[in-house]
Amino acid sequence: MQRLDYALEIETSYNRATLPVVSIIIPTYNESRNIVRLIRLIRSSIDDHFSAEIIVVDDNSPDKTARIVEGYADSIYQKENYRQQYSSSYLDVQQIFSVRVIWRESKAGLVSAVLEGVKNSLGKYILILDADFSHPPNVIVDMVNELVNSDYDIVSASRYLEGSQIIGWPLRRRAISKSATRLARTILGLNQITDPMSGFFAFKRDIISHITFNTSGYKLLLEILVKVDNAKVKEIAYTFADRRSGSSKLDSRVILDFVKALIRLYVFKNNKSYRAKLKRQATIGKLRSLSKTRIPVRL
Ligand SMILES: Nc1nc2c(ncn2[C@@H]2O[C@H](COP(=O)(O)OP(=O)(O)O)[C@@H](O)[C@H]2O)c(=O)[nH]1
Ligand SMILES: [Mg+2]
């Protein structure tokens, strides 16, 4: 809550109160060949649409991803300062764009990295994407517009909608992903969502304020879909392209994490409906005993 107040303060002091602020969180591990190019593309694609802070959460990648992003962030601040000195109208420019790195000591997993980014962010809206260009930055504006101008709580880019495409995955990888998706949808009762394990999604920050996450969980979206009651979700189609640089992480460890997450979320979901049933019964009991209570009438 306090963080939000702080965000508003920044906006108003720059006279940009009408602009939404979106925090774009990018978890990275050995993405030195992608990250600066990606941030540049994001910046040019959101140009003039909304204010954004980019937060890269790096787990001390051996390829020095964090240091590279720090260098890039410094270079844009220097340029902005230069513009500020030489243009008196700079402060009227309708946009804030900032880049920050959270440099963690060691590799602690994707979900905890994303949550660390969210915890340290200021925006009213959060958007998450991979650093490997699987998630095309030119879809970001559509996702944010949909989120800001509607009552959807979550806007997610889906690999499995009509109009979506997956490029570069061999048949085996497609089959594994499809089966995992089908399993998750069935077991967790998410049949209305075509891609509940998307890593490319945006949401209104408020919806997770009361949620306790499992930091060693599998996919954050899956966790949010199960734990947030009655979230309104909009999916949009896009073309997913397999990473070209760096390496992906589909191995037996990932499959084990997936199975563990499914079991845990299944138990959570069923406990939740059990708790809700108990609460309903308690309320009915209370109403019954109230109807039996005699209210003394004073004359
Ligand atoms: N900070 C951090 N980032 C990670 C970790 N594991 C993966 N990533 C990043 O998270 C994103 C998704 O990982 P990726 O290997 O592409 O997974 P895939 O798309 O599911 O195959 C990429 O941007 C990775 O660099 C981790 O342990 N810590
Ligand atoms: Mg990826």
Q: Residue 114 to residues 125, 132, 202: CA-CA distances in angstroms?
A: 14, 15, 12
How far, in Å, from the CA of 28 to the mean position of ligand 1?
Answer: 6
Domain that holds residue 78: 7-292
Strand partners, 283: none
**Spatial contact of 157 and 234, defined as CB atoms under 8 Å apart:** no
| DSSP per residue, 144-186 | HHHHHTSS-SEEEEESSSTT-EEES--HHHHHHHHHHHHHHHH
Q: pLDDT by residue (tens digit) across 178-214?
A: 999 999 999 999 999 999 999 999 999 999 999 999 8
Structure tokens at 32: 């030195």
In contact, 258 and 183? CB cutoff 8 Å: no
**pLDDT tens profile 78-135:** 776 655 555 544 444 456 888 999 999 999 999 999 999 999 998 999 999 999 999 9
Ligand nearest to the CA of 26: 1
For a pocket test of ligand 1, which of 35, 110, 129 has the largest count of ligand atoms closer than 8 A to its C-beta?
110
Q: Say which range, 72-86, 121-135, 259-273, 280-294, has the weakest mean pLDDT.
A: 280-294
Task: Please state the atom number of ligand 1 nearest to the C-alpha of residue 65.
Answer: 25
Residue 1 falls within a domain, yes or no? no
Query: What CATH number does residue 63 fall under?
Result: 3.90.550.10
Instruction: Give mean pLDDT, residues 166-188.
Output: 94
pLDDT tens, 31-80? Answer: 999 999 999 999 999 987 888 999 999 999 999 999 999 999 988 877 76
pTM of the model: 0.84
Decide if 257 is inside a domain.
yes
Which range (166-180, 185-199, 225-239, 276-290) has the least confidence? 276-290
Specify the number of domains making up the chain: 1
Q: What ligand has the least distance to the C-alpha of 177?
A: 1
Residue nearest to atom 16 of ligand 1 (CA): 248
Report the pLDDT value the prediction gives residue 253, as an integer from 0 to 100. 84
In short, whether 225's Cβ falls inside 6 Å of ligand 1 is no
174 lies in some domain: yes
User: Partners of 54 in the beta sheet?
Assistant: 24, 99
Q: What is the pLDDT of residue 91?
A: 43
Q: What is the pLDDT of residue 284?
A: 66
Residues whose Cβ atom is located within 5 A of ion ligand 2: 130, 132, 134
Average pLDDT over residues 13-22: 56
Does the pLDDT value for residue 273 go beyond 90?
no
In a domain, 62, yes or no: yes
Listed residue (271, 238, 263) closest to 184, CA to CA: 263
- Split at pLDDT 50, 70, 90, the class of 6 is very low
Alpha carbon nearest to ligand 1 atom 14, residue:
248
- Measured by CA distance, the residue closest to atom 12 of ligand 1 is 130
Q: Which range (40-44, 124-128, 146-150, 287-291) has the least confidence?
A: 287-291
Which SS3 state, helix, strand or coil, does residue 212 take?
A: coil
Q: Is 268 exposed, middle or buried (0-12, 13-18, 19+ CB in 10 A)?
A: middle
Average pLDDT, the chain: 84
CB of 257 within 6 A of ligand 1: the answer is: no
Tell me the CA–centroid distance for residue 51 and ligand 2, in Å: 25
The reply to whether ligand 1 has any atom less than 6 angstroms from the CB of 33 is no
Give the pLDDT band of residue 21 (cuts 50, 70, 90). Answer: confident
Q: Work out the angle at residue 208's Cα, subtended by the Cα atoms of residues 206 and 212, and round it to the nearest 5 degrees.
A: 150
What percent of the chain shows pLDDT beyond 70?
Answer: 79
Q: Could you give the CA distance from residue 112 to residue 229 in angstroms, rounded to a whole number?
A: 22
Domain assignment present for residue 298? The answer is: no
Looking from the CA of residue 104, the nearest atom of ligand 1 is 1
Report whether residue 195 contacts ligand 1, using a CB cutoff of 6 Å. Answer: no
Specify if 217 maps to a domain: yes
Which token pair is 174? 């497609």
117 within ligand 1 shell (Cβ under 6 A): no
